Amino acid sequence: MLELNGIVKGFSTNGGNVRTVLEELSLTVGAKESVAIVGRSGSGKSTLLKIISGMDNDFLGEYLFNKEEMRRKSSDKRARFRREKLGFITQRFDLLDDRNVYENIAIALSHLGLPKSEKKQKVAEILGYVGLHGYEKKFIGQLSGGEMQRVSIARAIIKKPALIIADEPTGSLDEETRDDILSLFKQMMEDGHQFIIVTHDKDVSKICDRILKLYRGTLINVS
C-alpha cells in the first residue's frame, strides 16, 4: 500500500527561479496492485520514482508506505527500506563499474547474510532468467547497453522485494528479450510483487493493472 498526497517538487534553475516539476501530485496504489506511468520526456517521471524510493527526501507533501510516513524517516531508515523492501531499476542502471556482474548482483543480497554458495546459486539462477547465463565474471565496461539493463533488472529482483520500481526497464532491449523480461515480471506480479513501471512501451504498460499519465505535474488515469 503506497500513498502520495499533494506532492510538490521543484528544482531551482540557474536564474535562481524554482521550476516546479511535480505539483500537488497524488497517487494511491493498493497492495499487490501494479501501475504503469507514462508521460513526455522531462515531465518528472524519474523524479517521482526517486521520491518513491526515498532517495529524494526534499519535497513537500505526504508519502506513506504501508501507512508509514516516509518523509519523516531518517536517511538510515530510508536506506533500510530500499535494502529490504525495494528493487529499483533506474534509467541509468547505476551499476558499480569497478565490480563484475556477480558482485553487482550479489551486493543486493548482502544484508541477508547468506552463505557464499547459496549466493552464487541465486545469482546464477537470476542471470539465467534475464538471459545472461555465465556472465558472472564479466565487468560492467564489457557489457552492451541491453546487457547492462538486464544486470540492473537482475539486481533489483533477486531479493524478491515487495515493491519494484522500474524506470524504462526495457528501453535498451530487443523485442524478444523484452518479452522474456515481461513474462518474468508478470510471473512476479502473480506471486504478489508490486510494480511501478515508467515506460514508453505500450506492451509493457499492458501487463500492469493501471496506466497513469504524468502531465503538468500530476497523474491522470488513462485506462
Ligand X SMILES: Nc1ncnc2c1ncn2[C@@H]1O[C@H](COP(=O)(O)OP(=O)(O)OP(=O)(O)O)[C@@H](O)[C@H]1O
Q: Which of another protein, Mg ion, ligand X, none does 44 bind, CB closer than 5 to 8 A by kind? A: ligand X
- Please report whether residue 18 would count as binding ligand X according to CB under 6 A: no
- The nearest distance, CB 107 to ligand X, in angstroms, is 25
- Please report whether residue 46 would count as binding ligand X according to CB under 6 A: yes
- Please report whether residue 43 would count as binding Mg ion according to CB under 5 A: no
- Please report whether residue 18 would count as binding another protein according to CB under 8 A: no
Residue 172 buriedness (CB in 10 A; 0-12 / 13-18 / 19+): middle
Using DSSP, state whether 27 is helix, strand or coil: strand
The nearer residue to another protein, 31 or 96, going by C-beta atoms, is 96
Kindly tell me which residue out of 2, 4, 7, 21 binds ligand X, with binding defined by CB under 6 A: 21
- Please report whether residue 90 would count as binding another protein according to CB under 8 A: yes
- The nearest distance, CB 22 to ligand X, in angstroms, is 8
Query: Which of 39-47, 60-68, 148-156, 158-166 is the region at the interface with ligand X (rule: CB under 6 A)?
Result: 39-47
The nearer residue to ligand X, 200 or 210, going by C-beta atoms, is 200
User: Which chain residues interact with Mg ion by CB under 5 A?
Assistant: 46, 91
User: Which chain residues interact with another protein by CB under 8 A?
Assistant: 11-12, 50, 53-58, 75-76, 78-84, 86, 88, 90, 94-98, 107-108, 111, 155
